[in-house]
Amino acid sequence: MAQVVRGVIARAKGAPVEVVPIVVPDPGPGEAVVKVQACGVCHTDLHYREGGINDEFPFLLGHEAAGVVEAVGEGVDNVAPGDFVILNWRAVCGRCRSCRRGRPQYCFATHNAKQKMTLEDGTELSPALGIGAFAEKTLVAAGQCTKVDPAASPAAAGLLGCGVMAGLGAAINTGQVSRGDSVAVIGCGGVGNAAVTGARLAGASRIIAVDVDERKLVTARGLGATHTVNSRETDAVEAIRELTGGNGADVVIDAVGRPETYKQAFYARDLAGTVVLVGVPTPEMTLELPLLDVFGRGGALKSSWYGDCLPERDFPMLIDLYLQGRLDLDAFVSETIPLDGVEEAFARMHRGEVLRSVVVL
Ligand SMILES: NC(=O)c1ccc[n+]([C@@H]2O[C@H](COP(=O)([O-])OP(=O)(O)OC[C@H]3O[C@@H](n4cnc5c(N)ncnc54)[C@H](O)[C@@H]3O)[C@@H](O)[C@H]2O)c1
Ligand SMILES: [Zn+2]
Ligand SMILES: [Zn+2]
């Protein structure tokens, strides 16, 4: 029987979010209903609310979540009711060219749940990344559920569902940071500070955190940054070059996603270094670079979707590190809030006061 629960929606582009009753159908074939326990507020939710990267409304927000599987549909064998799971962005096919190459973020046949959650009047909802987890329960494709150790706190585990995984993976998977590398991270919000953490886990010798907000730099130091640069006061490119013997960093991660920060990343890297773009630009942004400078620098220019993660490999491994005290996920939880606190959490994020506000149910 379909059930009615509370969920957080944006009715139209730019409208403040509202908590409303939503209808969650029983899981169909290949689907699961998950009782959400925690869901972090990511900057991408704000992009969605503002209609910056999507145009389907009403929009059910929230996509950085952990919870317990309540029910599964026909043919589901990867999870069962009672399992503690982290939700991931994509149920991938596992068979296409991208999947076979180990790049499921680019799967040609990803899918969300086929059925739709709705408002009580039957209006279909667009759930963020097919997740829509600012809700007491949500319907997802079973392939979006990855079982992890239930000893982890839901607020911490949920962070691996988006921002923290995106940042950790930008350093470890996409940037391939190696022992002894110098790494610079531009923009140290939830995602950037996770990249700082990833660089530390990978054994980087120098980790240079760059932000315009001193508070974020203090957090970065606590997470393993060896140097910090306030780019409101200091030229970031010069500072990074100076801190890397004049060469530039081996890996520079742009966790802001604006033309000016990307240019800083481009020029602050070693000639053979790697730039990783993980911040999400808006459609009107364009980039101008002298083509000769692109030619003259041999390294790689990469973008990182979801930290190039493989959920079944990375989520349980990172939860293990967390439970062993080697990965401080709790440091990213600035506050826990109720479902009706999302709009205020957006304002706090906008003012730079939090790394992550996490809705806990
Ligand atoms: N690629 C992915 O898979 C992925 C996943 C999640 C989020 N994101 C994106 O990552 C970006 C960061 O997300 P977040 O949740 O960490 O956001 P956030 O708002 O918490 O952090 C952004 C940080 O950038 C800093 N900043 C802003 N302008 C700057 C500048 N010019 N120079 C240096 N620092 C600057 C801010 O002070 C803040 O600390 C967003 O664009 C988000 O959409 C990408
Ligand atoms: Zn996100
Ligand atoms: Zn595929």
- The better pLDDT of the pair 323, 55 is held by 323
In a domain, residue 320? The reply is no
Residue among 252, 219, 306 nearest 44 (CA): 306
DSSP type of residue 26: P
Q: Are residues 77 and 186 in the same domain?
A: no
Q: Are residues 229 and 334 in the same domain?
A: no
Q: Are residues 274 and 233 in the same domain?
A: yes
User: What's the mean pLDDT in 34-46?
Assistant: 95
Q: Are residues 348 and 246 in the same domain?
A: no
In a domain, residue 310? The reply is no
Cα 265 to ligand 3 centre (Å): 31
What is the position in ligand 1's atom list of the atom closest to the CA of 163? 6
In a domain, residue 268? The reply is yes
pLDDT > 90? residue 349: yes
CATH number of the domain where residue 31 is located:
3.90.180.10
Instruction: Copy the structure tokens of residue 336.
Output: 């826990």
User: What's the mean pLDDT in 211-223?
Assistant: 96
Alpha helices for 160-234 (secondary structure H): 163-169, 190-201, 214-223
In a domain, residue 46? The reply is yes
Output the residue whose Cα is nearest ligand 1's atom 39: 189
pLDDT > 90? residue 90: no
Q: Are residues 62 and 110 in the same domain?
A: yes
4 forms beta bridges with 23
Provide the 3-class DSSP secondary structure of residue 179: coil
CA atoms within 13 A on the CB side of 39: 30
Q: Are residues 153 and 84 in the same domain?
A: yes
CATH number of the domain where residue 211 is located:
3.40.50.720
Q: Are residues 150 and 267 in the same domain?
A: no
Residue among 347, 332, 324, 356 nearest 151 (CA): 324
Q: Which range of residues forms the domain containing residue 204?
A: 167-305
Q: Are residues 13 and 72 in the same domain?
A: yes
Cα 104 to ligand 3 centre (Å): 6
Out of 41, 44, 49, 354, mutate this one to test ligand 1's pocket (max ligand atoms within 8 Å of CB): namely 44
Q: Are residues 264 and 341 in the same domain?
A: no
Please state, in angstroms and rounded to a whole number, the distance separating the CA atoms of residues 323 and 317.
Answer: 10
Q: Are residues 9 and 157 in the same domain?
A: yes
Output the residue whose Cα is nearest ligand 1's atom 33: 211
Please state, in angstroms and rounded to a whole number, the distance separating the CA atoms of residues 14 and 325.
Answer: 40
Please state, in angstroms and rounded to a whole number, the distance separating the CA atoms of residues 183 and 204.
Answer: 7
Task: Give the model's pLDDT for residue 60.
Answer: 97
Q: Which residues line ligand 1 (CB under 6 A)?
A: 42-44, 47, 162-163, 166, 186-192, 210-213, 216, 231, 255-257, 260-261, 278-280, 304-306, 349, 352
Ligand nearest to the CA of 305: 1
Task: Give the model's pLDDT for residue 157.
Answer: 98
Q: What is the pLDDT of residues 102-127, one digit of tens each?
A: 888 889 898 899 999 999 999 999 99
User: What's the mean pLDDT in 270-295?
Assistant: 95
Ligand nearest to the CA of 350: 1
CB under 8 Å to 295, separation ≥6 — which residues? none
User: What's the mean pLDDT in 15-31?
Assistant: 97
Ligand nearest to the CA of 102: 3
In a domain, residue 78? The reply is yes
- DSSP structure string for 67-126: EEEEEE-TT--S--TT-EEEE-S-B--SSSHHHHTT-GGG-TT-B--SS--EETTSPBPE
What's the number of domains the chain is made of? 2
In a domain, residue 319? The reply is no
Residue among 246, 301, 243, 250 nearest 276 (CA): 301
Task: Give the model's pLDDT for residue 298.
Answer: 87
Please state, in angstroms and rounded to a whole number, the distance separating the CA atoms of residues 250 and 183.
Answer: 6
Kindly indicate the confidence band of residue 174, based on its pLDDT and cuts at 50, 70 and 90. very high
Q: Are residues 290 and 189 in the same domain?
A: yes
Provide the 3-class DSSP secondary structure of residue 159: helix
In a domain, residue 314? The reply is no
Q: Are residues 194 and 273 in the same domain?
A: yes
In a domain, residue 321? The reply is no
CB under 8 Å to 217, separation ≥6 — which residues? 188, 209, 211, 225, 228, 229, 230
Cα 289 to ligand 3 centre (Å): 34
